[in-house]
Chain A
Amino acid sequence: MSVTAPPQPPRAAKPVVRPGDRIFAGTARVAALTIMLALAGVFVFLALEGYPGLSAPERIYAPATDFWSYVGPLVFGTILAACVALVIAVPFSIGVALFISHYAPPRVAVPIAYVIDLLAAVPSVVYGLWGGLALAPATRPLIDWLYDNLSFIPFFAGPPSVTGRTMLTAGIVLAIMVVPITTAISREVFAQTPRLHEEAAMALGATRWEMIRLAVFPYARSGVISAVMLGLGRALGETMAVAMVLSATPVVTLNLISNSNPATIASNIASNYKEATPDKQAVLIATGLVLFAVTFVVNFAARWVISRGERNLTR
Chain B
Amino acid sequence: MAKSIDVSDLNIYYRDFLAVEGVNMTIRAKAVTAFIGPSGCGKSTFLRTLNRMHEVIPGARVEGKVMVSGQSLYDAAIDPVAVRRQIGMVFQRPNPFPTMSIYDNVLAGSKLNSKKMKKAEADSIVEKSLTRANLWNEVKDRLAKPGMGLSGGQQQRLCIARAIAVEPEVLLMDEPCSALDPISTSAIEDLIHELKSEYTIVIVTHNMQQAARVSDDTGFFNLKATGEPGHLVEFNPTNKMFTNPDEESTEAYISGRFG
Assign chain A's interface to a size class. 20 to 34
Cβ-defined contact, B97 with A196, below 8 A:
no
Name the prevailing secondary structure of the A interface residues: helix
Is B85 engaged at the interface, CB distance under 8 Å to the other chain?
Answer: yes
Stretch at the interface among B12-20, B108-116, B202-210: B108-116
Within residues 122 to 151 of chain B, which ones have a CB less than 8 A from any CB in chain A? 144, 146
Is B34 engaged at the interface, CB distance under 8 Å to the other chain?
Answer: no
A199: chain B residues at CB < 8 Å are: 53, 56, 89, 91, 95
> What is the distance, in angstroms, from B158's C-beta to the closest C-beta of chain A?
11
B82: chain A residues at CB < 8 Å are: 205
Most chain B C-beta atoms within 10 Å of own C-beta, residue among A203, A204, A314: A203
Cβ-defined contact, A215 with B113, below 8 A:
no
**Contact of A204 (CB < 8 Å), options: B88, B93, B100, B146:** B88
Cβ-defined contact, A203 with B51, below 8 A:
yes
Cβ-defined contact, A206 with B81, below 8 A:
yes
Residue of B nearest to A197 (CB): B95
In the complex, A277 Cα to B100 Cα: how many Å? 60
Cβ-defined contact, B112 with A200, below 8 A:
no
Cβ-defined contact, A206 with B99, below 8 A:
no
In the complex, A218 Cα to B109 Cα: how many Å? 16
Cβ-defined contact, B108 with A201, below 8 A:
yes
Is B65 engaged at the interface, CB distance under 8 Å to the other chain?
Answer: no
Cβ-defined contact, B91 with A200, below 8 A:
yes
Cβ-defined contact, B56 with A202, below 8 A:
yes
Q: Knowing A203-B51, A203-B88 are in contact, say whether A218-B99 is a contact too (CB < 8 A).
A: yes
Residue of A nearest to B99 (CB): A218
Cβ-defined contact, B112 with A206, below 8 A:
yes
Cβ-defined contact, B113 with A203, below 8 A:
no
Within residues 153 to 171 of chain B, which ones have a CB less than 8 A from any CB in chain A? 159, 162-163, 166
In the complex, A24 Cα to B159 Cα: how many Å? 43
Is B28 engaged at the interface, CB distance under 8 Å to the other chain?
Answer: no
Is B84 engaged at the interface, CB distance under 8 Å to the other chain?
Answer: yes
Within residues 198 to 219 of chain A, which ones have a CB less than 8 A from any CB in chain B? 199-207, 210, 214-215, 218-219
In the complex, A204 Cα to B86 Cα: how many Å? 9
B112: chain A residues at CB < 8 Å are: 204-206, 210, 214
Is A313 engaged at the interface, CB distance under 8 Å to the other chain?
Answer: yes
Is A274 engaged at the interface, CB distance under 8 Å to the other chain?
Answer: no
Is B98 engaged at the interface, CB distance under 8 Å to the other chain?
Answer: yes
In the complex, A106 Cα to B112 Cα: how many Å? 29
Residue of A nearest to B51 (CB): A203
Is A315 engaged at the interface, CB distance under 8 Å to the other chain?
Answer: yes
B84: chain A residues at CB < 8 Å are: 202-206
Cβ-defined contact, A204 with B85, below 8 A:
yes
A315: chain B residues at CB < 8 Å are: 144
Cβ-defined contact, A197 with B91, below 8 A:
no
Known: A205-B84, A221-B99. 4 other contacts (CB 8 A): A204-B108, A204-B166, A205-B86, A205-B109
Please, could you name 5 A-B residue pairs with CB atoms under 8 Å apart, sorted by A?
A: A106-B58, A196-B93, A203-B163, A313-B146, A315-B144
Query: Which 6 residue pairs are nearest across A and B when measured between Cβ atoms?
Result: A205-B85, A204-B109, A218-B99, A203-B89, A205-B84, A196-B95
